[in-house]
């Protein structure tokens, strides 16, 4: 079905802040199992679009559909419950917890919340079993991202790149269908960036869908199969990396700001 092929659909989104039109009638869709890039110069409206999709902001106009369901205006945890998950930066207070403790917190804050709430008081065995399963999956994820040796380390002691790996591992623990990443490589050294990208490609091959918001055009061109370009709040164009590279409007947008 159409919905199956395109889990995420954004229709005529508009968002203003005071007199500033941050997102102006933006529409696009993301195909299942792809790594789709959302690029554009600074101020193009990428982060605002990201925030409209993940429920951090409510649009003035337009809709967000996920797996055919209208999720416009749902709060972030409800959006995450649907399987559309963004990575969260590790907050200051979580820096004082270990990597493993951070992992164990994730599902309670995000998708697993419903599951935790559903446990009837008194059904202790279920709780214990779920905690054990969660722990097992947490270790699997840490192993996958090659940070299992850091499990007992305080999150605050991780390098920028290691934090990004933890943020992604944590997001995956909520068992999403689709991940949204806003500049996940900012402040990450090249070798860790390479590793992070390898993981993203591997996960995409497993069937996860990614929307990657990036300022770095080369990174998107080298890694995404489909690229959406925003400029001044609007979708300027979209297509394959080679389409985009040859598009003079895109070049102008980047040079002209």
The binder of ligand ADP chosen from 9, 46, 86, 164 (CB under 6 A): 46
Give the residue, chosen from 10, 44, 166, 172, that forms a contact with ligand ADP under the rule CB under 6 A: 44
Q: Provide the sign of the torsion angle of the four alpha carbons 102, 104, 108, 112, taken in this order.
A: positive
Partner touching 44 among Mg ion, ligand ADP, none, CB below 5 to 8 Å by kind: ligand ADP
Under 8 Å CB-to-CB from 3, ≥6 apart: which residues? 67, 68
Number of residues interacting with ligand ADP: please give it, by CB under 6 A. 11
119 binds, among ligand ADP, Mg ion, none (CB under 5 to 8 A by kind): none
Distance, C-alpha 151 to centroid of its chain: 23
41: helix, coil or strand? coil
**What is the helix (H) or strand (E) element at residue 226, kind and residue range?**
strand 226-231
Measured distance CA(139)–CA(160) in Å, rounded: 21
Q: Tell which one of 7, 37, 45, 55 touches ligand ADP (CB under 6 A).
A: 45
The length of the chain in residues reads: 257
Q: How far is the CB of 40 from ligand ADP (least distance, A)?
A: 5
Question: What strands, in cross-sheet order, belong to the sheet with 209-213?
Answer: 84-86, 178-182, 209-213, 35-39, 226-231, 234-239
- Residue 74 CB, nearest approach to ligand ADP (Å): 19
Q: Does 42 bind ligand ADP (CB under 6 A)?
A: yes
Task: Reduce the DSSP state of residue 85 to 3 states and report it.
Answer: strand
- Which residues, numbered 11-50, are part of the site for Mg ion (CB under 5 A)? 46-47
Give residues 44-63 in contact with Mg ion (rule: CB under 5 A).
Answer: 46-47
236 binds, among ligand ADP, Mg ion, none (CB under 5 to 8 A by kind): none
Residues that bind Mg ion (CB under 5 A): 46-47
Residues that bind ligand ADP (CB under 6 A): 17, 20, 22, 40, 42-48
């Amino acid at each position: 079905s159409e919905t199956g092929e395109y889990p995420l659909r954004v229709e005529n989104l508009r968002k203003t802040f005071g007199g500033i039109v941050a997102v102006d009638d933006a529409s696009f869709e993301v195909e299942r199992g792809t790594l789709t890039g959302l690029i554009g110069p600074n101020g193009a409206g990428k982060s605002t679009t990201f925030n409209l999709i993940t429920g951090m902001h409510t649009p003035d106009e337009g809709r967000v559909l996920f797996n055919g369901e209208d999720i416009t205006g749902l709060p972030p945890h409800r959006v995450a419950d649907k399987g559309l998950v963004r990575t969260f930066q590790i907050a200051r207070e979580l820096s004082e917890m270990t990597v493993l403790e951070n992992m164990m917190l994730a599902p309670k804050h995000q998708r697993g919340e419903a599951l935790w709430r559903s446990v009837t008081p008194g059904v202790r065995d279920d709780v214990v079993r779920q905690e054990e399963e969660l722990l097992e999956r947490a270790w699997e994820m840490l192993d996958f991202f090659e940070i299992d040796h850091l499990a007992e380390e305080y999150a605050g002691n991780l390098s920028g790149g290691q934090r990004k790996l933890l943020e992604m591992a944590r997001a995956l623990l909520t068992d999403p269908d689709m991940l949204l990443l806003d500049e996940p490589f900012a402040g990450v050294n090249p070798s860790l960036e390479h590793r992070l990208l390898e993981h993203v490609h591997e996960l995409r091959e497993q069937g996860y869908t990614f929307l990657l918001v990036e300022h770095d055009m080369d990174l998107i061109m080298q890694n995404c199969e489909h690229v959406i370009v925003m400029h001044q709040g609007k979708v300027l164009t979209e297509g394959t990396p080679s389409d985009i590279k040859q598009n003079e409007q895109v070049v102008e947008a980047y040079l002209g700001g």
